[in-house]
Structure 1
C-alpha cells in the first residue's frame, strides 16, 4: 500500500533537508569533524539516533492528533501507506488513557484537587481550558484527547502556539506566560494567572 500524497514534492524536499540540517547542525562542530575525525561519524550516528527517536515521537503525536481531530484509522493508514489495522496496532495503544500524574485520590503533589478534561480535540481544547481557567483551574498536564487541570484560588488564562514559533515563545514568556510541559506536537501550551480587574 502506498501513502496518500498530501504534500507537494518541494515540501517533502524541504522537510527532508530540514531534518538533515538539524541532525548535522545541532551537535557543535559535527559537520566540520566529518572532514577529518573518524569519531565524528560516531557522533553522527548518535545525532541521527536522537533525530529518529524524535521524529518517531512526533509521528505518534501527529497520528493521535489526527485521531483526536476525527479522522478514521482507515484515513490515517492511507496517509501512512499502511492498512487501517496496521496503523491502529502501531498507534492506538498510546492514544486512549491519560496517565495519572498525581495520587489516586485526584490530588496533585501540593495537595490541590486535579481533574482530567476529556475527550478533547484540537478544535475544542482551548474553549475547555478557557472555561476551566475562569473557574480557577490551570493546566498541569496533557496528552492525546485530554488535559489535566489543577484547582487554584484565582482565574487563569491559557494559550497554545506551534512548536515552530520560536520568537513567539520568547515573547510569551517575557509577558508572564509559563510553558506547561515540553509540548504536544504540534502545540506548546502556556498559562498565566489572570489579574483581578483594576490591577495594573
Structure 2
C-alpha cells in the first residue's frame, strides 16, 4: 500500500537539504573537519544519529497531531504508505492519549490539578482560554489532553509553531513562560493576565 505524496518534489528536496545542512552545520567545525580529520566522520555519525532520533520524534508527534486533528488511522496509514494496522501499531503506543496519573508529590498542601481531556488541535486553545479565565494554568500536556493547575488569578495561554530563538527570547521578555519542551509542531506558553499586555499575534 503506498500513500500519495502531499508535498511537491521541490518541497521534499527542501526538507532533505535542510536536515542535511543542520546535521553538518550544528556541530562546531564539523563540515571543515571532514577534509582532514578521520575523527570528524565519527562526529558526523553522532550528529546523524541525533538528526535521525529527532526526525523520528517529530514523526511520532506529527502523527499524534494528525490524530488530534480528527484524522483516522486509515488516513494516516495512507500518507505513510502503510496499512491502518501498521500505523496504529507503530505510533499508537501503550497508553497514548491517556492523561497522566496523579501529579507527583501530591500532598494536602499541593496545588489542585485537573485534566482537560478529549482535546483536538482545533479546540485546545479555547479550552485553555476558558480554564485560564477561571484561574487554571497549563503544567503539562500530551495527545488529546492538557493538565492544568489551580491558582488565585487568571492566566492566558499562547501556542506558536516552533519559534526561532529570537522570537522565544522576545516572548519570554514579554512575560510568557514556556511550558515543557513543546509538542511538535507547537510550543506552548502561559503568563498571568495583566490587562496592560496583549497576547502576541
Contact 2:139 2:179 in 1 (8 A): yes
1:34-183 aligned at under 5 Å gives the runs 34-93=34-93, 95-100=96-101, 102-103=103-104, 107=106, 111-183=110-182
Contact 2:97 2:142 in 1 (8 A): no
Moved more, 86-95 or 61-70: 86-95
Q: State the distance in 2 between where 1:182 and 1:108 align.
A: 26
Provide the TM-score with structure 2 as the length reference. Answer: 0.91
Q: State the distance in 2 between where 1:83 and 1:173 align.
A: 43
Provide the TM-score with structure 1 as the length reference. Answer: 0.92
Q: State the distance in 2 between where 1:43 and 1:66 align.
A: 34
Contact 1:102 1:108 in 2 (8 A): no
Cα RMSD for the two superposed structures:
2.0
Q: 1:103 to 1:148 in 2, by over 3 A?
A: same
Q: State the distance in 2 between where 1:155 and 1:148 align.
A: 16
Contact 1:102 1:109 in 2 (8 A): no
Unaligned runs of 5+ in 1: none
Q: State the distance in 2 between where 1:109 and 1:128 align.
A: 27
Q: State the distance in 1 between where 2:116 and 2:21 align.
A: 38
Q: State the distance in 1 between where 2:179 and 2:140 align.
A: 7
Q: State the distance in 1 between where 2:178 and 2:76 align.
A: 30
Q: 1:198 to 1:11 in 2, by over 3 A?
A: closer
Q: State the distance in 1 between where 2:102 and 2:16 align.
A: 36
Q: State the distance in 2 between where 1:121 and 1:68 align.
A: 5
- Name the structure 1 match of 2:13: 13
| CA distances 1:175-194 after superposition (whole Å, capped 9, x unpaired) | 11011011000000000001
> Is the partner of 1:93 in helix, strand or coil?
coil
Contact 1:3 1:79 in 2 (8 A): yes
In the TM superposition, residue 171 of structure 1 has moved relative to its aligned partner by: 1.9
